[in-house]
């Protein structure tokens, strides 16, 4: 049942960075009130509409808020699948269906943060069938619009009739900050994958909508064991891999890879080549890494770009981020900065030459 105190949205961030996500929320909506639903997942009530907040963040994406979805209806749950589906269908018929564009593809994304006797799949399939009857085509990988369903236990005291509630909302995918439920972008593990770090680069290329030049030349700083180099080769790039350590043999034996066994600092003074792309996932202080990348700016072609991670300490993270970004702005325009799903104690930054 809807309430007079209906929340505006549900916000998701990495739990360890929730304090910084809350800073971003309150910059956009100073009156925002939050109720926790799960680690890193908040119910948000504020005066601004979901569309106002989402459109602002679409144009200027936050770093730490990973995913948002609107709340347009609230359904009290009885912990029985068929009963709960019936309640949700009623809310969708009354509130959601009028919002759907039958000409656009859609997806249903469910998340469950309560002790309920069913899984997201049990909700997604029947609710998707309800919507397809109105005309739109289901597309779970790249939908244009999304029905978000979040089932959660709301701590007492609350205005909701039952301990478990389903929060329902419909929006354009571009307003959710991610096409994936909760921003949880997962990639299939490949048999010849070198490391899980590959997922970070894949996610960065996707979320920043980066198209690399055909048969481009790339520089991978701190390349060992070769995960990012392998991804770049899959993207049709010839790679110079810089690291005093060894590369995984399958990467090292690739004829499109040139391995220079030296540090990034040594290579900088070794008459390096020019590149279309420089990537850097080295474990070093974020400010030192930023200074290194500024020094490498002269090795980029005019159209060149940089993808790098900034490793963050447990304390004073905002200060470190601001300092590192200020250093980078000496040579680059910051085209994007996000704490991605596959990041850990770091953010990923996308840079273009000034």
Catalytically active residues, by annotation: 311
Pairing of strands 300-311, 346-353: antiparallel
Q: What's the CA gap between 45 and 7, in Å, rounded?
A: 4
Q: What's the CA gap between 270 and 76, in Å, rounded?
A: 66
Residue 176 contacts residue 155 (beta carbons within 8 Å): no
The DSSP call for residue 116 is -
Q: What's the CA gap between 277 and 216, in Å, rounded?
A: 8
Contacts of 200 (CB under 8 A, 6+ apart): 281, 309, 340, 342, 343, 348
In 191-281, DSSP assigns E strands to 216-221, 237-242, 257-260, 275-280
Supply 95's token pair. 């509130």
Cα dist from 216 to 52, 203, 212, whole Å: 40, 20, 7
Q: What's the CA gap between 324 and 308, in Å, rounded?
A: 12
Q: What's the CA gap between 159 and 162, in Å, rounded?
A: 9
Contacts of 258 (CB under 8 A, 6+ apart): 238, 239, 240, 241
By the 10 Å C-beta count (0-12 exposed, 13-18 middle, 19+ buried), 345 is classed as: middle
Cα dist from 97 to 101, 130, 164, 266, whole Å: 9, 9, 23, 61
């Amino acid at each position: 049942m809807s309430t007079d105190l209906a929340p505006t949205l549900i916000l998701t961030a990495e739990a360890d960075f929730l304090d910084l996500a809350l800073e971003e929320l309150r910059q956009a909506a100073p009156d925002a009130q939050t109720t926790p639903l799960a680690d890193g997942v908040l119910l948000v009530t504020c005066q601004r509409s979901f569309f106002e907040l989402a459109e602002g963040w679409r144009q200027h994406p936050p770093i730490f808020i990973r995913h948002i979805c609107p709340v347009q209806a609230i359904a009290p749950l009885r912990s029985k699948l068929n009963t709960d589906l019936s309640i949700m269908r009623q809310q969708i018929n009354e509130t959601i269906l009028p919002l759907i564009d039958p000409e656009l593809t859609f997806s249903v994304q469910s998340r469950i943060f309560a002790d309920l006797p069913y899984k997201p799949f049990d909700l997604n399939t029947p609710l998707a069938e309800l919507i397809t009857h109105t005309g739109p085509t289901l597309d779970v990988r790249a939908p244009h619009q999304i029905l978000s369903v979040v089932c959660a236990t709301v701590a007492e005291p609350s205005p909701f009739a039952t301990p478990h509630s389903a929060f329902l909302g419909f929006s354009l995918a571009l307003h959710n900050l991610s096409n994936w439920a909760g921003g949880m972008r997962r990639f299939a593990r490949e048999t010849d994958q070198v490391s899980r770090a590959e997922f970070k680069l894949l996610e960065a290329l996707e979320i920043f909508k980066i198209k690399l030049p055909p048969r481009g030349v790339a520089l991978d700083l701190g390349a060992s064991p070769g995960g990012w180099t392998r991804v770049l080769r899959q993207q049709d790039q010839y790679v110079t891999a810089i690291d005093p350590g060894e590369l995984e043999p399958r990467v090292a034996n690739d004829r499109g890879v040139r391995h220079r066994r030296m540090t990034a600092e040594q290579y900088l003074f070794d008459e390096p080549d020019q590149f279309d792309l420089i990537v850097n996932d080295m474990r070093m202080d974020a400010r030192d890494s930023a200074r290194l990348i500024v020094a490498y700016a002269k090795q980029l072609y005019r159209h060149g770009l940089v993808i790098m991670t900034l490793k963050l300490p447990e304390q004073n993270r905002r200060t470190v981020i601001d300092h590192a970004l200020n250093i980078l702005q000496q040579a680059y325009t910051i085209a994007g900065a996000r704490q991605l799903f596959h990041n850990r104690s770091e953010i990923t930054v996308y840079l273009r030459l000034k």
